Chains A and B, each alone.
Chain A
Amino acid sequence: MPFDFSRLLQSIEIRARRVRGLSVASAATLYGALTSLIATVGTRLLHILLPSWSLLAFAVPPFLVGAVAYAWGRSRQPAFPNLLLHVDDTLGLDARFSSLYELRHRGGQSVFSRRIEAAVRDASDWRRALPVGRPTILRASASVCCVATVIGMSFVPLPVLVRSKLELVDHTVALSSVSVSEDVGSLAAPVKQSTHLPSAPIRGDSNDAAKTPLTGPPEQDHTLEDVMRDLSGISPNEALLSPIPRDEIDELARREREARRAIAELLEDIRERLENAPSSGSQDLTDQERSDLQRELGREGLPPGMQEGINELLNQPEHRTAEEMVEQLIERFGENEESETPSSEDPNFSPPQSTAVAPSAQNIDDLLESLGQSSLDEEGGIDVEVPAPPGEKGEPSEGASGEPSTTGHSGEPGPDGSEDPDLAGGTAGSGGLPGEDGERTPDFLREEERANIGASGTFVNEYVTEGVPIESMPSTDGNAPSLRVSYERIVSILRERGLPDGAIEIVRDYFNAITEGGT
């Protein structure tokens, strides 16, 4: 078989182009992958608001860059003299390929070319001289690792704050893909059915994103978490390190309520016993009472102030009587509860149904600060909506007329048939509105507001999602002022938080839907 040097050169050229293309591509892919990795880590560390799918998209550019680099590397003509000398050196051919190439360039056959061809005829393993280099393999491997890391980071759970941001954007995107009007309609539907909760559940179960298409602005979510942490005694730093699930926060709040109630009942019993005891009798605590108090001290959720008081009672000083200390404790306990009990000064106040919790000025400041809207004044009355999960807090009453109904639904039993007296709607028709027993739930602040809803001018007790700025619109016909969500403030807050315009529009549509132009 005659030696075909031209064909050999062609094969060598193809091989060289491929190897060069792979080398360039691996380098380019590595640079691209590193860039993507840095960008991904950067978005995570800087809490840049990006949806998850965009992080996945970071994995694509390195390969695109690699493909372009490969094409570019293959398109470049190899320098044959150097390439062939490299092959010669690698295979120990004493520059025969190179010399043969030189003779071919001179043209014609000569005794030298024939002799050289005879010498290289068996050099069929020339591919050994053009391997895919180890650096290329290492760069490619590193690129794959980087890209895998980028993809993996897209699924890594984020801290609460960042996660809530991303959830919001995800929902925004999801909502954008469907008809907004449909969403608004579906959101507005439950609102129409609700007489006491014109602002439909903005935040229900945060884990159930599907049921609450709009979880509210991220900072609103953040503020709720702060409130929960305040109530549960967890510092923000601790919460940041270990985000507390909402279920856990609810559980902590429930425990606290139970502890409060139990200790209150125990103190009342002790006081009754001391009052009814004969004057000559012992004014000290009985062993049983001490044991009960000790047991209650060990209960989870008891506020630190109460713990100190009970400890003081157990270590009763000589100069103070047990009755006096119990009275003081009950008084102190009452003060604590009073601060959370709705005011009854309003003549229109109807205890069963008017169950709003007024946020303290400090809380409002905290909330506003967390929203980045420190300039927001207190007039807006940032309130917290009361979620009414079915079965737990009862359904809102059917008092669609908006009149202060006194015959609303009682709190409906939960799924297990039990009825939580703390969470039950009671008789107010407020369907599980919190604090009907004078307590505050961890999620919401209550405030009694008189307002008209929509153009009908129907009175309603407002429950507004915490963090949502509202404005009181004075009535011109002497009726109660109407409340209106301050959309301008919401937009300002959301923009400060870097929310995309699309998401802001969704928020606007949402509030327009739930308020229908009113409150």
Chain B
Amino acid sequence: MITERDLEAAQTVFQRLTSSIEEVIVGHGEMIRAALIALLCQGNLVLEGVPGLGKTLLVRALAAALGLPFSRIQFTPDLMPADIVGTDLITEESGRRTFAFSRGPIFANVVLADEINRATPKTQSALLEAMEERTVTVGSNTYELEEPYIVLATQNPIEMEGTYPLPEAQIDRFLLKANVPFPSLEELVAITERNTEGTGIRLPDPAATAEDILSARAVVREIPIAVALREYVARLVLATHPDSEHAPARVREYVEYGASPRAALAIIMGSKANAFLSGEVNVRREDIRQLFHAALAHRLVLNFKGEAEGVPVSELLDDVWDQVPTNS
């Protein structure tokens, strides 16, 4: 049973957490919120943007603010799964040689998978189990990951040569995908100021503990959402399917596969977290709207025609949003 005190404490913690991160990251408010939402929803986040926008810095700042173990994996084409999850090593102790499991970087609370699309699908798939089940299986042994656990991946939309786009099964496991925009003039000035003067960037001090995060997660799950809004979310997700009766014309024309049920979960959970971060105690339509693109953009698979014509997925989602009625 969530008490008034739990609610207030959780909201306070995350307000403090947000402030700590924003002290380091200039702008990118939506990206910070997306990261916190993913953290609250027990999800993972993929950040997409050109190099130099502060994606890695954001993850590092988040990890620092949380005061949780953080590991960074630079994905390269020759990266192997064992390099991520760890491997059994032969150790010699008291004259006896035994295999001992050496944990990989995936065994952290905050994992940064930098430029995840540069690794081969085989290596990328090493993250699947960890991202979804929060476990790692090596050989015949399965290891549980500590909560709170979050994988934050980055992608570079340019320099696509030599990259391996994430398979659908992989990309679907990311709760949200946040596009990191280029900073505005004011933000850019502030960035230069913070990085070129004084001691430079200084990561924040821990503003929350693992327990705080887990408590906040419990609070978020209790935030109510109206049945009509649940139905609305379901209609939105169904409308992304080209064979759905609710699908807009452009979706029928350009989309090969629509969003999975996991997308509906992502929208609803994300909306709850968004309402929580906004200080609300119930999910509003506005929360759904704010999460709509982030939860669905990476889950739509365009058909050949859509790819050939370069149809922006965001425009298709706009069509869906505009044409699906709130109330049935």
Find out whether the CB atom of B327 lies under 8 angstroms from the CB atom of A82. Answer: yes
Given A85-B326, A86-B327, are A94 and B286 neighbors across the interface (CB < 8 Å)?
Answer: yes
Q: What interface size band does chain A fall in?
A: 20 to 34
Find out whether the CB atom of A111 lies under 8 angstroms from the CB atom of B2. Answer: yes
Least CB separation from B2: chain A residue: A111
A113 cross-chain contacts in B, Cβ below 8 A: 224
Is B185 part of the binding interface, using a Cβ–Cβ cutoff of 8 Å?
no
A141 cross-chain contacts in B, Cβ below 8 A: none
Find out whether the CB atom of A110 lies under 8 angstroms from the CB atom of B2. Answer: yes
Q: How far is the CB of A83 from chain B (nearest CB, A)?
A: 9
Is B228 part of the binding interface, using a Cβ–Cβ cutoff of 8 Å?
yes
Least CB separation from A97: chain B residue: B226
Find out whether the CB atom of A110 lies under 8 angstroms from the CB atom of B282. Answer: no
B229 cross-chain contacts in A, Cβ below 8 A: 85, 95, 98
A88 cross-chain contacts in B, Cβ below 8 A: 226
Find out whether the CB atom of B281 lies under 8 angstroms from the CB atom of A111. Answer: yes
B:169-225 near A, CB below 8 Å: 222-225
Distance of A95 Cα from B229 Cα, bound (Å):
8
Given A81-B231, A111-B4, A112-B281, are A98 and B326 neighbors across the interface (CB < 8 Å)?
Answer: no
Distance of A458 Cα from B227 Cα, bound (Å):
98
Find out whether the CB atom of A102 lies under 8 angstroms from the CB atom of B225. Answer: yes
Distance of A111 Cα from B286 Cα, bound (Å):
22
Find out whether the CB atom of A110 lies under 8 angstroms from the CB atom of B226. Answer: no
Is B94 part of the binding interface, using a Cβ–Cβ cutoff of 8 Å?
no
Q: Mark B291-328, 1 if CB is under 8 A from A, else 0.
A: 00000000000000000000000000000000000111
Distance of A5 Cα from B284 Cα, bound (Å):
19
Is A99 part of the binding interface, using a Cβ–Cβ cutoff of 8 Å?
yes
Q: Mark A416-448, 1 if CB is under 8 A from B, else 0.
A: 000000000000000000000000000000000
B1 cross-chain contacts in A, Cβ below 8 A: 110
Is B13 part of the binding interface, using a Cβ–Cβ cutoff of 8 Å?
no
B4 cross-chain contacts in A, Cβ below 8 A: 111, 114
Distance of A440 Cα from B280 Cα, bound (Å):
102
A96 cross-chain contacts in B, Cβ below 8 A: 282
Find out whether the CB atom of B226 lies under 8 angstroms from the CB atom of A101. Answer: yes
Is B142 part of the binding interface, using a Cβ–Cβ cutoff of 8 Å?
no
B:80-129 near A, CB below 8 Å: none
Task: Report which of B3, B6, B282, B286 forms a contact with A99, defined as CB distance below 8 A.
Answer: B282
Find out whether the CB atom of B224 lies under 8 angstroms from the CB atom of A99. Answer: yes
Distance of A115 Cα from B223 Cα, bound (Å):
11
Least CB separation from B224: chain A residue: A99
Is A262 part of the binding interface, using a Cβ–Cβ cutoff of 8 Å?
no
Find out whether the CB atom of A95 lies under 8 angstroms from the CB atom of B284. Answer: yes
Is B283 part of the binding interface, using a Cβ–Cβ cutoff of 8 Å?
yes
Find out whether the CB atom of A85 lies under 8 angstroms from the CB atom of B327. Answer: yes
Q: Mark A43-85, 1 if CB is under 8 A from B, else 0.
A: 0000000000000000000000000000000000000011011
Find out whether the CB atom of A102 lies under 8 angstroms from the CB atom of B227. Answer: yes
Q: How far is the CB of B202 from chain A (nearest CB, A)?
A: 37
Find out whether the CB atom of A111 lies under 8 angstroms from the CB atom of B7. Answer: yes
B285 cross-chain contacts in A, Cβ below 8 A: 89, 94-95
Find out whether the CB atom of B282 lies under 8 angstroms from the CB atom of A95. Answer: yes
A99 cross-chain contacts in B, Cβ below 8 A: 224-226, 281-283
Find out whether the CB atom of B280 lies under 8 angstroms from the CB atom of A81. Answer: no
Is A144 part of the binding interface, using a Cβ–Cβ cutoff of 8 Å?
no
Find out whether the CB atom of A98 lies under 8 angstroms from the CB atom of B227. Answer: yes
Find out whether the CB atom of A84 lies under 8 angstroms from the CB atom of B226. Answer: yes
Distance of A94 Cα from B281 Cα, bound (Å):
11
Is A116 part of the binding interface, using a Cβ–Cβ cutoff of 8 Å?
yes
Is A103 part of the binding interface, using a Cβ–Cβ cutoff of 8 Å?
yes
Find out whether the CB atom of B228 lies under 8 angstroms from the CB atom of A82. Answer: yes
Distance of A110 Cα from B4 Cα, bound (Å):
8
B225 cross-chain contacts in A, Cβ below 8 A: 95, 99, 102
- The count of chain B contact residues (Cβ–Cβ below 8 Å) is 25
Q: Mark A319-351, 1 if CB is under 8 A from B, else 0.
A: 000000000000000000000000000000000
Q: Is the interface of A mostly helix, strand, loop or mixed?
A: helix
Task: Report which of B2, B3, B6, B282 forms a contact with A116, defined as CB distance below 8 A.
Answer: B282
How many A-B residue pairs have C-beta atoms within 8 angstroms? Tell me: 75
Task: Report which of A84, A89, A101, A116 forms a contact with B326, defined as CB distance below 8 A.
Answer: A89
B286 cross-chain contacts in A, Cβ below 8 A: 94
Distance of A197 Cα from B285 Cα, bound (Å):
93
Q: How far is the CB of A33 from chain B (nearest CB, A)?
A: 31
Find out whether the CB atom of B226 lies under 8 angstroms from the CB atom of A98. Answer: yes
Find out whether the CB atom of A103 lies under 8 angstroms from the CB atom of B327. Answer: no
Distance of A113 Cα from B222 Cα, bound (Å):
11
Distance of A101 Cα from B282 Cα, bound (Å):
11
Find out whether the CB atom of B281 lies under 8 angstroms from the CB atom of A116. Answer: yes
A82 cross-chain contacts in B, Cβ below 8 A: 228, 327-328
A94 cross-chain contacts in B, Cβ below 8 A: 280, 282, 284-286
Distance of A110 Cα from B226 Cα, bound (Å):
15
Q: How far is the CB of B20 from chain A (nearest CB, A)?
A: 26
B326 cross-chain contacts in A, Cβ below 8 A: 85, 89
A98 cross-chain contacts in B, Cβ below 8 A: 226-229
Distance of A82 Cα from B224 Cα, bound (Å):
16
Q: How far is the CB of B5 from chain A (nearest CB, A)?
A: 9
A110 cross-chain contacts in B, Cβ below 8 A: 1-2, 222
Task: Report which of B2, B7, B226 forms a contact with A95, defined as CB distance below 8 A.
Answer: B226
Given A82-B327, A85-B326, are A112 and B227 neighbors across the interface (CB < 8 Å)?
Answer: no
Distance of A258 Cα from B284 Cα, bound (Å):
96
Least CB separation from A88: chain B residue: B226
Distance of A82 Cα from B231 Cα, bound (Å):
10
Distance of A112 Cα from B227 Cα, bound (Å):
16
A115 cross-chain contacts in B, Cβ below 8 A: 281
Least CB separation from B223: chain A residue: A112
Distance of A216 Cα from B2 Cα, bound (Å):
92
B284 cross-chain contacts in A, Cβ below 8 A: 94-95
Least CB separation from A96: chain B residue: B282
B227, B282, B285 pick with most chain A CB within 10 angstroms: B282
B282 cross-chain contacts in A, Cβ below 8 A: 94-96, 99-100, 112, 116
Least CB separation from A101: chain B residue: B226
Least CB separation from B280: chain A residue: A94
Q: How far is the CB of A135 from chain B (nearest CB, A)?
A: 17
Least CB separation from A118: chain B residue: B281
Task: Report which of A85, A106, A112 forms a contact with B228, defined as CB distance below 8 A.
Answer: A85
Distance of A84 Cα from B228 Cα, bound (Å):
9
Least CB separation from B7: chain A residue: A111
Least CB separation from B284: chain A residue: A94
A116 cross-chain contacts in B, Cβ below 8 A: 224, 281-282
Q: How far is the CB of B122 from chain A (nearest CB, A)?
A: 45
A:112-142 near B, CB below 8 Å: 112-116
Distance of A128 Cα from B7 Cα, bound (Å):
33
B223 cross-chain contacts in A, Cβ below 8 A: 112
**Can you sample 17 A-B contacts with CB below 8 Å?**
A81-B228, A81-B231, A82-B328, A94-B282, A94-B284, A95-B229, A95-B284, A100-B224, A102-B224, A110-B2, A111-B6, A111-B281, A112-B7, A112-B222, A112-B223, A113-B224, A116-B282
Q: Given known contacts A84-B226, A111-B3, A111-B281, what 14 new A-B pairs fall within 8 Å (CB)? A: A81-B227, A82-B328, A84-B228, A85-B226, A85-B229, A89-B327, A95-B229, A95-B282, A99-B283, A100-B282, A102-B224, A102-B227, A111-B4, A112-B224
> Top 9 nearest A-B pairs by Cβ distance?
A98-B226, A99-B282, A85-B228, A94-B284, A81-B227, A81-B228, A99-B224, A115-B281, A112-B281
Query: Residues of A with Cβ closer than 8 Å to B?
Result: 81-82, 84-86, 88-89, 94-96, 98-103, 106, 110-116
